[in-house]
Amino acid sequence: DMKKGTEGRLVSAAAFNALLRGLLARGALDEARATVREEMPRMGVSPNEASLNLLMDTAARAGPARTEEAWDILEEMQSKGLRADKYTVSILTKGISERGDRRHRGALRGIALVERFLSMQADDVDEVLVNSLLDVFCRTGDMARLEATFQKMRDYGIRGSAVTYGTIVKAYGKAGNFDKVVQAWEEMSREGLEANAVTYGCMLDACVKCGHLDRALQVFALMKRRNLHRNTILYATLIKGFAKSQDPGAARDLHREMVYEGVMCNVFVFNSLIDACVRANDLHGAAEVLQQMTAAAVRPDLITFSTLIKGYCSNGELTKAMRLADELQARHLECDEIVYNSLLEGCVKAGDLQLGLKLFAEMRQKGVRPSSVTFSILVKLLSRACRLDLACQLVAHEMREIHGVAPTRMVWSCLVTCAVKARDLARAAQA
């Protein structure tokens, strides 16, 4: 009789699972959940591995709104010692990578559950799952957990792929650890793995981030030999490297090569070219690039204008910077704090207090929140104009009371300089 009762329950569970498959196939997740959580217990049938895996898989595939439910089911299965489906766990892990805030409490909980899965179901762990988890740690910059997961992969006898090593190289590049970048690259070669276009791209980017442009160019030469180099992101990465090393000539040579090779030049490429020129104070070159951008029918964005405005302001060409700010707004773009700070720095350089105060009023009117950097520039501007009264009022009232921004060392330094010029240190102390 007991055997018969057990068989009856098994048949009942199987019948419910068949019903669940039908409900989930037509997207009736709420009805399926009610079946598992209410109907099955009411009938004296406990949801088994198959029931919970079906529910978890559908929740995982239903998008961000159902993700927490999927994690809840995984946690429930682990607490009951039930085996979770590895493909569903991979989907959930990949979801952590693709969402913006990977340090969010929900994401951290998800990571902990995946790590528990790695320990509890070692025989189900595969390269796809580990790669997804490595990508999460790469994006969060958690190098200790990345290294521990990579070591666990070795311990489990799972052979890494070019994707695995690309992620490792990328992570060390972001961390600025060039020795580890080279170590991972050489290990990949020893493992007999051939780099693909994506892996080469990770290596190229890591070299540039670590300040080894020479090595990046060597990697790019290898890609050319394998005919893997015709890619916008690769060229943009190298151009960014030349911008950092203040070599606009080499950056523009690469741009000419892109055009010759038929590689698409997007807004990021042109912005990097303009940045290369501005960093080297080649504003004539920056203006030429802007013309090339227009000729190529690529629309300048806020970064384009922001970079050019900063360049003109640093060079004391405030009139040109203001003209660009007007053009920016004529294109229905909005000046942000960075643009206003650059323009205010331009006012300091030009000694134009009235324009500076006008820009600050415009900034407030448009709801652009000033930062401590903004206030330090304004105090500097007021100091140059010997307006200690306004500088103290700005720090005490505008900065603290209205915007709730605490004065930084830079702000105090500018204020003290202003007070020294006015021979009134006591006034500054009251601010």
Averaged pLDDT, 174-187? 96
Domain termination site, one of 300, 315, 340: 300
Specify whether the CB–CB gap between 250 and 272 falls below 8 A. Answer: no
Half-sphere exposure of 46 (CA within 13 A, CB side): 6
Query: Per the domain annotation, does 262 fall within a domain?
Result: yes
**Distance in angstroms (rounded) separating the CA atoms of residues 350 and 66:** 56
Residue 385 or residue 173, greater confidence: 173
Specify whether the CB–CB gap between 131 and 94 falls below 8 A. Answer: no
Query: Per the domain annotation, does 281 fall within a domain?
Result: yes
Q: Supply the range of the domain harboring residue 86.
A: 15-97+105-121
**Distance in angstroms (rounded) separating the CA atoms of residues 76 and 37:** 12
Contacts of 290 (CB under 8 A, 6+ apart): 270, 274, 300, 304, 308
**Distance in angstroms (rounded) separating the CA atoms of residues 33 and 42:** 14
Specify whether the CB–CB gap between 336 and 320 falls below 8 A. Answer: no
Q: Does the pLDDT at position 117 exceed 70?
A: yes
Tokens representing 166?
């690309």
Query: Per the domain annotation, does 78 fall within a domain?
Result: yes
Q: What is the pLDDT of residues 381-400, one digit of tens each?
A: 988 888 888 888 888 787 77
Specify whether the CB–CB gap between 330 and 309 falls below 8 A. Answer: no
Query: Per the domain annotation, does 273 fall within a domain?
Result: yes
- pLDDT class for 103, splitting at 50, 70, 90? low
Specify whether the CB–CB gap between 158 and 124 falls below 8 A. Answer: no
Share the mean pLDDT of the chain.
89
Specify whether the CB–CB gap between 335 and 366 falls below 8 A. Answer: yes
Three-class SS state of 71: helix
**Distance in angstroms (rounded) separating the CA atoms of residues 311 and 320:** 10
Q: Percentage of residues in the chain with pLDDT exceeding 90?
A: 67
Tokens representing 179?
């020795």
Half-sphere exposure of 144 (CA within 13 A, CB side): 0
- pLDDT class for 107, splitting at 50, 70, 90? confident
Query: Per the domain annotation, does 237 fall within a domain?
Result: yes
pLDDT of residue 145: 95
pLDDT of residue 428: 56
pLDDT of residue 430: 57
Cα dist from 415 to 61, 128, 225, whole Å: 57, 57, 59
Specify whether the CB–CB gap between 274 and 304 falls below 8 A. Answer: yes
Mean pLDDT is lowest, of 9-23, 334-348, 416-430, for 416-430
Residue 307 or residue 409, greater confidence: 307
pLDDT of residue 2: 32
Cα dist from 425 to 392, 419, 430, whole Å: 11, 5, 9
pLDDT of residue 8: 44
pLDDT of residue 9: 45
Q: Of 176, 170, 153, which Cα lies nearest the Cα of 185?
A: 170
Query: Per the domain annotation, does 181 fall within a domain?
Result: no
H runs (alpha helix) in 191-231: 197-209, 213-225
Query: Per the domain annotation, does 336 fall within a domain?
Result: no
- pLDDT class for 44, splitting at 50, 70, 90? confident
Domain termination site, one of 300, 334, 362: 300
Q: Percentage of residues in the chain with pLDDT exceeding 70?
A: 94
**Percentage helix, strand, coil for the chain under 3-state DSSP, each rounded to 5:** 75, 0, 25
Q: Does the pLDDT at position 365 exceed 60?
A: yes
Tokens representing 5?
């009762």
Cα dist from 209 to 274, 293, 320, whole Å: 19, 26, 32
Q: Does the pLDDT at position 6 exceed 60?
A: no
| Number of domain units in the chain | 2
Domain termination site, one of 246, 281, 300: 300
**Distance in angstroms (rounded) separating the CA atoms of residues 203 and 200:** 5
Q: Does the pLDDT at position 114 exceed 80?
A: yes
Strand blocks (E) in 318-391: none
Q: Whole-model pTM?
A: 0.79
Q: What is the pLDDT of residues 213-268, one digit of tens each?
A: 999 999 999 999 999 999 999 999 999 999 999 999 999 999 999 999 999 999 99
Half-sphere exposure of 302 (CA within 13 A, CB side): 9
Query: Per the domain annotation, does 39 fall within a domain?
Result: yes
pLDDT of residue 394: 83
Q: Does the pLDDT at position 102 exceed 70?
A: no
For the chain, what's the residue count? 431
Q: In this structure, is the dihedral angle defined by the CA atoms of residues 151, 157, 163 and 165, taken in order, positive or negative?
A: positive
